Amino acid sequence: MAFSSTSSLPVMKQTKPDAERTLLNAVEDRYGGVKVDVEDSMDCNDYVSLLRDSITQWRKQGKKGVWIKLPIHLANLVEPTVKEGFRYHHAESDYLMLVYWIPETPDTLPANASHTVGIGAFVVNDNREVLVVQEKNGAFKGKDVWKFPTGVANQGEDICKAAIREVKEETDIDTEFVEILAFSQTHQTFYGKSDLFFVCMLRPLSSDINKQDSEIEAAQWMPIEEYVAQPFNQKHESFKNIANICLRKSRRNYTGFSAVPMASSSGKKSYSYFNKLQLENETTN
Amino acid sequence: MAFSSTSSLPVMKQTKPDAERTLLNAVEDRYGGVKVDVEDSMDCNDYVSLLRDSITQWRKQGKKGVWIKLPIHLANLVEPTVKEGFRYHHAESDYLMLVYWIPETPDTLPANASHTVGIGAFVVNDNREVLVVQEKNGAFKGKDVWKFPTGVANQGEDICKAAIREVKEETDIDTEFVEILAFSQTHQTFYGKSDLFFVCMLRPLSSDINKQDSEIEAAQWMPIEEYVAQPFNQKHESFKNIANICLRKSRRNYTGFSAVPMASSSGKKSYSYFNKLQLENETTN
């Protein structure tokens, strides 16, 4: 056994049949697999020996998927792990997750995340004026187009909260969430990934604009008819559709999906989005 | 210059100021950055020399983000790339994407994909019977719970098409898409990622069930009232809400979001989802 006693990799002694063997310290997952979270640096040869012995053991135990999480400072262990038959599963800034499927049966490993989530904020006040911006960068740069504040939801951020945050960041306007009016799903937006873009209606709670300098060229309140009449809103099918929906919504002639906090069966709190107005109105339709 | 002439890495001779220098072959992106797609194996030291010279050059040219895509068979180049200051951006089964931000200004690199997309299929026939299954695995295994067919959208797959595919796979029933009735966003579902789960209503185009053996224990048509009355649909807030929405929908008392194919400003075809019924009905409130 090549395991070096000076390594600080978490290991465990097996007390069962293969006593005396030192294996990678693994946690069982809910799907009959094991997860290894390598944290400390170690000699590459020692790691390979440990990994091989561990896989032999897990195979005997009938384990299925083997997950190995390597922090970026252990990039030296990526190549040896791949050489043992692992493939990449996903990566974040500071780690790479590799995976190996032990059984002969087809792999049922969960898929990698496939979508980014974007929001567009339709903020309209009681005078039917809409909050619009001109961006310093991006597709509409220098094109004299006034558009909704838009942005990308942060990892772990609720759609309804991302919309409020983006409006605040770009214009300093406080808002409350009203409804998701529409959304679209676009593929191949970024290295094979897809994007879900949600058009959110928000009610302003303040009126004084203080634009963000780094991204926003200009910001203002604009009569909604003027916003809708802009050439780009008439030229492109998808923009025209959204503008039309917003116009109707400003006339109270459209119902989107409300955001309702709700407990899932696992007890986790999350937002559900649906036509709450109609659900609560027994006489509708 | 340590570049080996036997390497088959795509390189280019610079003819401008730094003539005689061989650099990594890069393509400019739309955001002032460069992308390098390393394809063929090469000596690690040669690679590092090339990378250093290239970054020196890109810095002079005012480039911002540097993207390096390493296929899994070049896992030996991961560690040297990290040592040059790169971080991970994302990974798929067969490659790892690393990124380096040259300027002093804060990095504006796009985020990694953050969400998986799941679907649940509410398939109801003219007799108000709903298509339900019992799964061989998962949270409801052996619990005598009849549930909707569910699944995960494949990379690049439209939500409305994923629902049709999952129903076909699990039960062999042909369907057409009607509406998205509701959706929910749950965080921390898998290694910090989030999930968007869409409840889709589908109309059956066939009636003879032929269940998939690997995942499905049993499948049947069940009167909707019987489906809704199941204890788990009454016990959990989110299930109860969905059951209630489906019940109302089966009585034609609920409007969700239709799927409408639409061209974006870039000309890409994608589905938009919104309350089309109300949008088309000028007299609806």
Tokens in use for A104? 């002969």
Examine the domain organization and report whether A80 and A129 are in the same domain: no
Instruction: Name the strand (E) or helix (H) holding A60.
Output: helix A44-60
Instruction: Name the strand (E) or helix (H) holding A55.
Output: helix A44-60
Q: What is the DSSP string of A73-106?
A: GGGGGHHHHHHTT-EEEEEETTEEEEEEE-SSSP
Q: How large is the average pLDDT for residues A239-260? A: 94
Which residue, of B101, B127, B144, is where some domain finishes? B101
- Whether residues A87 and B76 touch (CB distance < 8 A) is answered with no
Residue A9 CA to residue A11 CA, distance in Å, equals: 6
Segments in B172-260 forming alpha helices (H): 224-229, 231-235, 237-250
From the list B253, B278, B259, B244, the residue with the least C-alpha distance to A278 is B253
Examine the domain organization and report whether A51 and A178 are in the same domain: no
Alpha-carbon Rg for chain A in angstroms = 26
Domain-embedded: residue B11: no
Local structure of A224: helix, strand or coil? helix
CATH code of A39's domain: 3.40.630.30
Examine the domain organization and report whether A126 and A233 are in the same domain: yes
> What is the nearest CA distance from A54 to chain B, expressed in angstroms?
22
- Whether residues A185 and B273 touch (CB distance < 8 A) is answered with yes
- Answer for the pair A247, A228: CB distance below 8 angstroms, yes or no: yes
Cα distances from A195 to residues A180, A259, B192, B276, in angstroms, run: 16, 20, 18, 21
- Whether residues B183 and A237 touch (CB distance < 8 A) is answered with no
Instruction: Name the strand (E) or helix (H) holding B204.
Output: strand B193-204
Examine the domain organization and report whether A120 and A35 are in the same domain: no
Query: Hey, what's the torsion of the CAs at A47, A51, A57, A60, to 10 degrees?
Result: -170
Report the pLDDT value the prediction gives residue B243, as an integer from 0 to 100. Answer: 95
Examine the domain organization and report whether B127 and B70 are in the same domain: no
Each residue's pLDDT tens digit in chain B (285 positions)? 333 333 344 454 444 454 456 899 999 988 889 999 999 898 999 999 999 999 999 999 999 999 999 999 999 999 999 999 999 999 999 999 999 999 998 888 888 899 999 999 999 999 999 999 999 877 777 788 999 999 999 989 999 999 999 999 999 999 999 999 999 999 988 888 999 999 999 999 999 999 998 889 999 999 999 999 999 998 888 999 999 999 999 998 999 999 999 987 677 789 999 999 988 876 444
Residue B247 CA to residue B229 CA, distance in Å, equals: 11
Q: Does A234 touch chain B (CB under 8 A)?
A: no
Examine the domain organization and report whether A176 and A35 are in the same domain: no
Catalytic residue, from B39, B84, B169, B217: name it. B169
Report the pLDDT value the prediction gives residue A279, as an integer from 0 to 100. Answer: 85
A145 vs B contacts (CB less than 8 Å): none
Whether the ipTM is more than 0.90: the answer is no
Q: Does A254 touch chain B (CB under 8 A)?
A: yes
Domain-embedded: residue A17: no
DSSP state of A219: E
The number of C-alpha atoms within 13 Å of B204 and in the hemisphere containing its C-beta is 20
> What is the nearest CA distance from B239 to chain A, expressed in angstroms?
8
- Answer for the pair B48, B30: CB distance below 8 angstroms, yes or no: no
Residue B113 CA to residue B153 CA, distance in Å, equals: 14
Domain-embedded: residue A7: no
Of B78, B97, B155, the CB nearest to A78: B78
- Answer for the pair A238, B264: CB distance below 8 angstroms, yes or no: yes
- Whether residues A91 and B89 touch (CB distance < 8 A) is answered with yes
Of B87, B186, B253, the CB nearest to A285: B253
Report the pLDDT value the prediction gives residue B268, as an integer from 0 to 100. Answer: 79
> What is the nearest CA distance from A125 to chain B, expressed in angstroms?
20
Domain-embedded: residue A180: yes
Query: Hey, what's the torsion of the CAs at B27, B28, B34, B40, to 10 degrees?
Result: 0
CATH code of A208's domain: 3.90.79.10
Phi-psi region of B152 (alpha: psi -120 to 50; beta: other; left: phi over 0): beta
Which residues on adjacent β-strands are paired with residue A135? A216
Domain-embedded: residue A5: no
Residue A124 CA to residue A127 CA, distance in Å, equals: 8
Give the position of tokens 């090549």: A2
The verdict on whether B280 is a catalytic residue reads no
Domain-embedded: residue B67: yes
Domain-embedded: residue A211: yes
Domain-embedded: residue A11: no
For residue B94, count CB atoms less than 10 angstroms from its CB and return exposed for 0-12, middle for 13-18, buried for 19 or more: exposed
Residue B262 CA to residue B267 CA, distance in Å, equals: 9
Report the pLDDT value the prediction gives residue B284, as an integer from 0 to 100. Answer: 43
Interface of A with B in 174-213 (CB under 8 A): 181-188, 190-194, 196
Residue A114 has pLDDT above 80, yes or no: yes
DSSP state of A230: S
Q: What total number of domains does chain B contain? A: 2
Tokens in use for B226? 């019987």
Residue A71 CA to residue A63 CA, distance in Å, equals: 24
Examine the domain organization and report whether A128 and A266 are in the same domain: yes
Examine the domain organization and report whether B134 and B269 are in the same domain: yes
Examine the domain organization and report whether A153 and A37 are in the same domain: no
Q: Does A72 touch chain B (CB under 8 A)?
A: yes
Q: Which domain holds residue A135?
A: 115-274
Tokens in use for A222? 């604009």
From the list A142, A129, A152, the residue with the least C-alpha distance to A250 is A129
Report the pLDDT value the prediction gives residue A18, as an integer from 0 to 100. Answer: 47
Q: Does A8 touch chain B (CB under 8 A)?
A: no
Residue A9 has pLDDT above 90, yes or no: no
Which residues on adjacent β-strands are paired with residue B36? B26, B68
- Answer for the pair B34, B63: CB distance below 8 angstroms, yes or no: yes
Q: Mean pLDDT over all residues of chain A? A: 89
Examine the domain organization and report whether A134 and A261 are in the same domain: yes
Q: Does A272 touch chain B (CB under 8 A)?
A: yes
A194 vs B contacts (CB less than 8 Å): 117, 155-156
Report the pLDDT value the prediction gives residue B216, as an integer from 0 to 100. Answer: 93
Give the position of tokens 């959990």: B236
Tokens in use for B276? 């089309």
- In this structure, the number of other CB atoms found within 10 A of the CB of residue A93 comes to 12
Which residue, of B57, B77, B101, is where some domain finishes? B101
DSSP state of A147: B
Which residue, of B68, B101, B134, is where some domain finishes? B101
Report the pLDDT value the prediction gives residue B267, as an integer from 0 to 100. Answer: 74
Examine the domain organization and report whether B143 and B222 are in the same domain: yes
> What is the nearest CA distance from A15 to chain B, expressed in angstroms?
31
Examine the domain organization and report whether A186 and A247 are in the same domain: yes
